[in-house]
Each structure stands twice: as C-alpha cells, then as structure tokens.
C-alpha cells in the first residue's frame, strides 16, 4: 500500500480507510460501496468545476459530454491499471475464484472509493488536487472543437451507414441498495449475432459501455 500512496501522492493518516476502499462488497461488512458512492460524487464535482474553468465559452451539453468522457469506466480502469490496484483488491472467495481481481468494473469502483476515502479524511481541496493529478492527461487531452459523440450515437450511425438493424438494449437486473445500485444491461446486434452485457451505476452508463465494446468489435 505504500507504493499506491506514493502513486496517488497522498499518505493516509488512517490506513484502515484505504483498506476499506480496496474491499469489495463480496467480502461483507466494511466494504467500499459507501466510499465509492462518495468518490463518484466528488469526482464528478471536481471534473465539472475544472471543465467549467477551462472552457468558459462551451455550452452545458458539450461540457456534459466532456465530463462523461473523463469520468467514464474506461478511464477509471486505465487509472486503476496505472495504480496497479488489481493486486491490492480484497475480494470474497466467490469473486476471487471468478477472477474478480481482473474485472475492470471492480477496479474502477475501487478508484472512486479511494477518492471518497481521501475526501472523507482530508476534505475537498486535497481530493481536488489528487483528482486533477490522476486525470490530468484525460482532461488536457480534450479538444474543445471535438464533438465527442457518445458511444451509443456512434454505434447507431455506424450501423445506419451499412443499412443494418439498430442495437437493442435491455435491462437484465438491478443489484445493490438504492443509494448505490448497479444496473446490468445487455445490447444485441441482430445482424451480427453479437450480444454483450455491462454493469454500471446507471442504465445510461451501462448502455454506453455496451456500445463502446460493440464499436471496438465492429471496427476491428
């Protein structure tokens, strides 16, 4: 955990907070769900404020797309990989056997939980600094002239271009408590006989994640 704290440039006063942030709900009590809920909100606030500051002439809709790009699951999982979180995660036996350490969604959740733990221990200004350092390349990589179409729009346009059937999204299940629910969504491409499932904190986000995976497959 010392290496992790060096990588995020933050030293925990209460190391049990960091341990909790790395503990998956499959373990039982004292897991990271509540910290993840907190971290998700703080991350959104920090990134929103930074984008508002950087792009004074950009309308709300485009700022929302920029924010979604920065805080998306793929970005979080890339940061988790940089922080080498997979070897630090604490999982229940079932999740451990199913390869939970390598599950990107679990790693992404842990990143948010760590941010929540930092906010809880040291407040907004400190976590603001940590977030801007961790997400620096993703924020600075935004081109204000880029439309940044969301993945569902890109997928739909790609299919329409070739005269193919549009994707079919379906909510499969909802898990977790109301304050931190997880939604599993499937997306079916009938013409290609391809179906994928993704889990996220909102139905819209899960749909976007499905669309992103399908875009990658179709463009190979």
For the annotated catalytic residues, the residue numbers are 40, 112
Query: Is residue 107 within 8 Å of residue 77, measured between CB atoms?
Result: yes
Q: What does the alpha-carbon distance between residue 170 and residue 173 come to, in Å, rounded to a whole number?
A: 9
Q: What does the alpha-carbon distance between residue 87 and residue 96 come to, in Å, rounded to a whole number?
A: 11
Q: Phi-psi region for residue 130, left (φ > 0), alpha (ψ -120 to 50) or beta?
A: alpha
The tokens describing 129, both together, are 């600094």
Query: Is residue 108 within 8 Å of residue 43, measured between CB atoms?
Result: no
Q: What does the alpha-carbon distance between residue 80 and residue 219 come to, in Å, rounded to a whole number?
A: 26
Alpha helices per DSSP H over the chain: 2-8, 15-21, 33-54, 60-71, 73-82, 93-97, 104-122, 124-134, 136-140, 151-161, 203-218
User: For the chain, what's the residue count?
Assistant: 220
């Amino acid at each position: 955990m010392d290496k992790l704290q060096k990588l995020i440039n933050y030293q925990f006063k209460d190391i049990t907070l960091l341990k909790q942030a790395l503990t998956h709900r499959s373990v039982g009590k004292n897991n990271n769900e509540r910290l993840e809920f907190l971290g998700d909100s703080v991350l959104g606030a920090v990134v929103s404020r930074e984008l508002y500051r950087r792009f004074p002439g950009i309308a709300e809709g485009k700022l929302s797309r920029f924010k979604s790009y920065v805080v998306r699951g793929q970005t979080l999982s890339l940061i988790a990989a940089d922080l080498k979180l997979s070897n630090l995660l604490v999982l229940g036996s079932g999740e451990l056997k199913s390869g939970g350490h390598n599950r990107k969604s679990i790693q992404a959740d842990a990143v948010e939980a760590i941010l929540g733990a930092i906010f809880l221990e040291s407040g907004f200004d400190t976590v603001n600094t940590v977030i801007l350092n961790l997400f620096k390349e993703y924020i600075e990589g935004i081109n204000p002239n880029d439309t940044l179409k969301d993945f569902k729009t890109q997928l739909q346009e790609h299919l329409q271009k070739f005269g193919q059937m549009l994707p079919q999204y379906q909510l499969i299940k909802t898990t977790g408590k109301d304050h931190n629910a997880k939604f599993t969504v499937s997306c079916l491409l009938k013409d290609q006989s391809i179906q994928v499932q993704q889990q996220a904190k909102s139905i819209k986000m899960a749909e976007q994640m499905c669309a992103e995976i399908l875009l990658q497959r179709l463009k190979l």
